[in-house]
């Protein structure tokens, strides 16, 4: 069987429990077609780079899948009909990564307290003698 990583984006007005139920539903589709789902990560509600169907945020989730291609195709077919799922992407991989994904590692890194920032130099920059005086500013009409 082939190995896949599957990421889905669910609408922002769906609760986290409903996202978990969606994941369980598609996990059942994979298992009914002879596959198995390994790691499941819920990355939470994140801002989208651009709006998708008037949504500015989405719930992200990752699934590691070990299944035949027909099982993945059936899961994707059912996802197309679900209005709660904005986007999904399935990628074939050679091996599943061990431990948390990069998204969860980033969250752990962001949660750590920051060190004391007083040891960094402030705005005491030396004079840059290689540049001359810029001169007076021109009026706005002249710049165009």
Write out pLDDT tens, residues 29-49.
999 999 999 999 999 999 999
Residue percentage of the chain with pLDDT more than 90: 61
Q: Which CATH superfamily is domain 2-95 in?
A: Ribosomal protein S6/Translation elongation factor EF1B (3.30.70.60)
| Tokens at 55, concatenated | 């949504």
Nearest Cα residue to 27 out of 78, 89, 99: 78
Q: Please write the tens of the pLDDT for every residue from 83-142.
A: 999 999 999 999 888 888 888 777 666 666 665 555 555 666 666 667 777 778 777 776
pLDDT at 2 over 80: yes
| Tokens at 116, concatenated | 């004391």
The pTM (predicted TM-score) of the whole model is 0.70
- 3-state secondary structure (DSSP) of residue 47: strand
């Amino acid at each position: 069987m082939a190995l896949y990583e599957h990421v889905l984006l669910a609408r922002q007005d769906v609760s986290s429990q409903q996202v978990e139920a969606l994941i369980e539903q598609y996990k059942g589709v994979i298992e009914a077609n002879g596959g198995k789902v390994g790691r499941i990560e819920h990355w939470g509600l994140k801002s989208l780079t651009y709006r998708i169907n008037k949504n500015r945020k989405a719930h992200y989730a990752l699934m590691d899948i070990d299944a035949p291609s027909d099982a993945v195709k059936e899961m994707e077919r059912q996802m197309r009909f679900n209005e709660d799922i904005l986007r999904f992407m399935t990628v074939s991989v050679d091996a599943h990564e061990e431990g948390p994904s990069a998204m969860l590692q980033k969250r752990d890194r962001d949660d750590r307290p920051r060190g004391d920032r007083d040891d960094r130099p402030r705005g005491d920059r030396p004079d840059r003698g290689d540049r001359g005086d810029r001169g007076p500013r021109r009026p706005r009409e002249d710049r165009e």
